[in-house]
A and B are shown apart, each in its own frame.
Chain A
């Protein structure tokens, strides 16, 4: 029974990772850049939720919506100001810029909210469900359900709408997409918008379970989600889902049965082993260079 409970925990944690990983993977697919600032969007989302609920006294639903809108706007602004001018620069310059943005968000939060962790009242609070001996956390369950709905929705959006198809086209070949009449700037902005809104949702779900937010709250989930995206094959949406869930499961089980402190090391170890066997992740496309 305890094993089953751990699995549910893992699935819930994993779906948060998956939501964040989606943002990494979408941005990577389209701009071929590792957006290291993405993790910090979660932190911004969590702070926004707290401000909306505690200071502005918004009802939970409206607070969540506010958080999503703010994060989406922030994502688009970051892209415009920091990444757009670097679209043709070396990947390394973009990476360093993204890290700069990450530091910027962290230190801004530090200045505005201070270094002490802030308690956030849960926006989502569902009672546990009792199945015989097994008690399933309502929040874990809702996290899982929300993630699945968003995932399915996103997949549908990418494959069935014009904007979604434009995203696929831009990720294949920016130049050709532009020649075919795709508005590349708009498509990239939409990608950041969706990715950041998903990160805000992840932030809300994350904070519902962990209760506290500080300026560096986003860093570790950000790195883990990044690992999840790579594990699944960066650039692949189903890969991000799979990678996130796997990572959450491994982490929960490692914490329960091996060692709490070494759980992170085990997660990263699994990543290295998987990449050695499948160098482009579980669902990543194999790229062969034409000679």
Chain B
């Protein structure tokens, strides 16, 4: 237990509690209006989606364009469960999340199998195809409401529940990444041939990353369904998958805090621009392009480096000192 109480972990714990306290305080003292309060749950859900996709894109290094597909199968499975069961919420919701997670995980395994044979853009298109197949099947499946949507889902989600599940998601994925399993996953990203030569079971870890990412996307989907009370197949289209991908890329590949921040910004931004109505998407598009161009601009990067150079220099000095 002692090892868990490091300075870093304590700081993280304090942050988790402080953010929650702030949320409650803002809620109690009426800082949030109706719109901003309604954003809290989507923010949490998007963070879960971004962090789970980050495992695939940032750490395993495989491009997935079908994350909304995992989210939707989890959502439908979990919500079907609560609709047809008549249990108290405290039992029903965790069970729904479990079911949503497991079902999404099974689909993650199914999509992970082509990932063993395909590379890069070819895998990306398969994940895209997978997402579209799911959507069109859901659209034509009357048991789950078809194109009209699945109605009558109890609205169990609130910001406390979502916050707790989100924190657990982040901790689980961060800890996974910083374990021998996470190192194995990163080594596959950096050089799969070397990884295999070092005795890393590449097949196992690729599948594991896909399953883990799908499970958390599925759980996020369950919370999503229990927030809105209705699920529509059209929500989980290609654009939703892209939105999650944008969060991961904007946050900086392989950076979990970055993914969290980007998820918050990208959820809040469209709402903040609501007043601009039709110009909203245009501004979003321009911001997206500008961000990408800026991030890859040599002069901007130089500026960024100069900004952080003091910190880097300090670290460098520390390392050489220890090395001597």
Mark A residues whose CB is within 8 Å of B. Answer: 28, 34, 82, 85-86, 88-97, 99-101, 103-104, 106-108, 110-111, 223, 226-227, 230, 234, 259, 261-262, 264-265, 268-269, 271-272, 275-276, 279-281, 289, 291
Contact = CB atoms under 8 A, between A and B. Distances in A.
Contacts of B278: 107, 110-111
A206 B73 CA distance: 34
B128 interface: yes
Contact of A275 (B114, B136, B253, B288): B114
A96 B282 contact: no
Given A34-B121, A262-B137, A85 B296 contact: yes
Interface string B33-66: 0000000000000000000000001000001000
B137 A104 contact: no
Interface in B69-123: 114, 117-122
Contacts of A279: 117-119, 122
A276 B117 contact: yes
B117 A101 contact: no
B126 A93 contact: no
16 contacts: A82-B293, A86-B293, A88-B296, A95-B63, A99-B242, A100-B286, A107-B282, A107-B284, A110-B278, A223-B238, A230-B121, A264-B136, A271-B126, A275-B114, A279-B119, A281-B122
Nearest to A101: B289
Interface in B113-172: 114, 117-122, 124-126, 128-130, 132-133, 136-137, 139-140
A276 B282 contact: no
Given A85-B297, A96-B245, A230-B122, A261 B281 contact: no
A47 B284 CA distance: 23
A262 B136 contact: yes
Residue from A100, A104, A106, A110 having most chain B Cβ neighbours under 10 A: A100
A272 B114 contact: yes
Given A111-B278, A268-B129, A272-B126, A96 B137 contact: no
B132 A264 contact: yes
Given A96-B245, A111-B279, A223-B238, A276 B137 contact: no
A4 to B, nearest CB: 27
B285 interface: yes
A265 B132 contact: yes
A231 to B, nearest CB: 9
Given A227-B129, A275-B114, A96 B122 contact: no
A97 B288 contact: yes
Contact-residue bracket for chain B: 35 or more
A227 B137 contact: no
Contacts of B284: 103, 107
Contacts of A95: 63
Contacts of A275: 114, 117-118, 122, 125-126
Contacts of A92: 57, 63, 249, 253
A57 to B, nearest CB: 29
A281 B118 CA distance: 10
Contacts of B120: 91
Contacts of B121: 28, 34, 91, 230, 234
B249 A96 contact: yes
Contacts of B129: 227, 268-269, 271-272
A239 to B, nearest CB: 13
Contact of B288 (A96, A272, A276): A96
B305 interface: no
A100 B288 contact: yes
Return the 4 tightest CB-CB contacts between A and B, nearest first.
Answer: A100-B288, A268-B129, A107-B281, A103-B285
B25 interface: no
Contact of B246 (A96, A280, A291): A96
B265 to A, nearest CB: 15
Contacts of B235: none
Interface in B211-263: 238, 242, 245-246, 249-250, 253
B314 to A, nearest CB: 28
A44 to B, nearest CB: 15
Interface string B11-25: 000000000000000
B296 A268 contact: no
B289 A261 contact: no
Contacts of A107: 278-279, 281-282, 284-285
A97 B253 contact: no
B63 A103 contact: no
B295 interface: yes
Contacts of A265: 132-133, 136-137
A279 B120 CA distance: 11
A100 B125 contact: no
Nearest to A32: B121
Nearest to A28: B121
A272 B130 contact: yes
A223 to B, nearest CB: 7
Contacts of A28: 121
Contacts of B126: 271-272, 275
